[in-house]
């Protein structure tokens, strides 16, 4: 019988790339990881790793094992979810990764609801961009992640992940209350000379925003490059930049700026993702239900 723990180490090596990264993530020494994988080679009777420079890579036989390990771990998570569902109280620890706009708006209300209904459930929150969050989901660093998708920027389908839609969040042009760039009747193409604050160019929202401006006939003059929406809001309020901001930001706050609908009323898709084997876990279901309730009250 193959050792599940050693199989998971092999799977983590495929995900993370190096023995040092696996060791760091799981709080082992690299030599301990190497010993465990050597024992797995002895159990299987095949070579699982081969040297490449100073590192190692998985053999074809190792990749076969990893594919089966994914199935085994999913079945074990299904068993854990069924056991948890047989209990009368939701408890344990749920690790959640989210991005800023959801952390600012929906998460506080969802956590309040969870604390009232499931006081034995501990929720640990981490701020991560969706791409990082989904990588952490697959390596079991997180149990639930929040994702977003933009038109023309479809997310990469991830095998073994259960997705559930939250909402389609409209994105609007944010203008200062007064000054040169404050005319709400101006077409997007007439704002070619304005200063902008946008998400980084290598991020989905950053690529989407730049493509929107190019579609209107101009390259945006990006004076401020940041994923921090609170900074975006502040720069627009003080008249230093224009921005493209999602409606979700205004769930529980007002801003001293103007919000103008964009042509076609574009939206971003917000959703939760969990490993498929854990989708039925009571803690996961409770968290998703609390997010939906928070959204309903928004």
17 dihedral zone (left: phi>0; alpha: psi -120 to 50; beta): left
Asked whether residue 298 carries a pLDDT value surpassing 80, the answer given is: no
Q: Do 126 and 243 sit in the same domain of this protein?
A: yes
**Mean predicted lDDT score pLDDT of the chain:** 90
Q: Give the whole-angstrom CA distance, residue 146 versus residue 133.
A: 8
The domain spanning residue 66 has which CATH number?
1.10.10.10
The domain spanning residue 297 has which CATH number?
3.40.190.290
Q: Do 77 and 179 sit in the same domain of this protein?
A: no
Q: How many domains does the chain have?
A: 2
Q: Do 186 and 228 sit in the same domain of this protein?
A: yes
Check: CB of residue 283 under 8 Å from CB of residue 121. Answer: yes
pLDDT value of residue 127 = 94
pLDDT value of residue 28 = 78
pLDDT tens-digit series, residues 140-178? 889 999 999 998 876 656 778 999 999 999 999 999 999
Q: Give the whole-angstrom CA distance, residue 157 versus residue 264.
A: 26
Check: CB of residue 257 under 8 Å from CB of residue 55. Answer: no
Q: Which of 83, 105, 128 is the last residue of a domain?
A: 83
pTM of the model: 0.78
Q: Give the whole-angstrom CA distance, residue 43 versus residue 46.
A: 8
Q: What are the strands, taking DSSP E only, across the chain?
A: 49-52, 55-58, 92-98, 121-127, 144-150, 161-175, 195-198, 221-225, 243-246, 258-261, 267-275
For 25, how many CA atoms within 13 A lie in the half-sphere containing its CB?
A: 21
Q: Do 49 and 189 sit in the same domain of this protein?
A: no
- Listed as own residue / partner, the contacts of 29-33 with beta carbons closer than 8 Å and 24 or more positions apart are 33/9
Q: Do 174 and 34 sit in the same domain of this protein?
A: no
Q: Do 74 and 101 sit in the same domain of this protein?
A: no
pLDDT tens-digit series, residues 185-222? 999 999 999 999 999 999 999 999 999 999 999 999 99
Q: Give the whole-angstrom CA distance, residue 34 versus residue 39.
A: 9
Structural domain containing residue 53: 4-83
pLDDT value of residue 264 = 94
């Amino acid at each position: 019988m193959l050792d599940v723990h050693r199989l998971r180490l092999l799977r983590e090596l495929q995900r993370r790339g190096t023995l040092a990264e696996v060791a760091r993530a799981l709080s082992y020494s690299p030599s301990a990881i190497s010993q465990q994988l050597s024992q797995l080679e002895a159990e299987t009777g095949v070579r699982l790793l081969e040297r490449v420079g100073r590192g190692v890579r998985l053999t074809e036989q190792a990749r076969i094992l990893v594919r089966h390990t994914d199935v085994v771990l999913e079945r074990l998570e299904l068993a854990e979810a069924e056991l948890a569902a047989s209990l009368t109280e939701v408890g344990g620890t749920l690790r959640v990764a989210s991005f800023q706009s959801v952390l600012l708006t929906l998460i506080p209300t969802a956590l309040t609801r969870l604390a009232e209904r499931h006081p034995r459930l501990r929720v640990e929150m981490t701020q991560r961009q969706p791409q990082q969050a989904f990588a952490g989901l697959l390596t079991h660093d997180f149990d639930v992640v929040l994702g977003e998708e933009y038109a023309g920027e479809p997310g990469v389908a991830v095998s073994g992940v259960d997705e559930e839609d939250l909402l389609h969040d409209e994105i609007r042009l944010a203008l200062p209350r007064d000054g040169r760039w404050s005319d709400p009747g101006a077409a997007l193409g007439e704002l070619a000379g304005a200063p902008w604050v946008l998400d980084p160019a290598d991020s989905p929202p950053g690529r989407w925003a730049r493509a929107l401006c190019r579609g209107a006939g101009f390259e945006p003059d990006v004076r401020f490059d940041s994923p921090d929406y609170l900074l975006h809001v502040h720069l627009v309020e003080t008249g230093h930049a224009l921005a493209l901001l999602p409606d979700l930001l205004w769930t529980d706050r007002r801003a001293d700026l103007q919000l103008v609908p964009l042509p076609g009323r574009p939206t971003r898709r917000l959703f939760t993702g969990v490993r498929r084997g854990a989708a039925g876990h009571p803690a996961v279901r409770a968290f998703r239900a609390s997010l939906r309730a928070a959204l309903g009250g928004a």
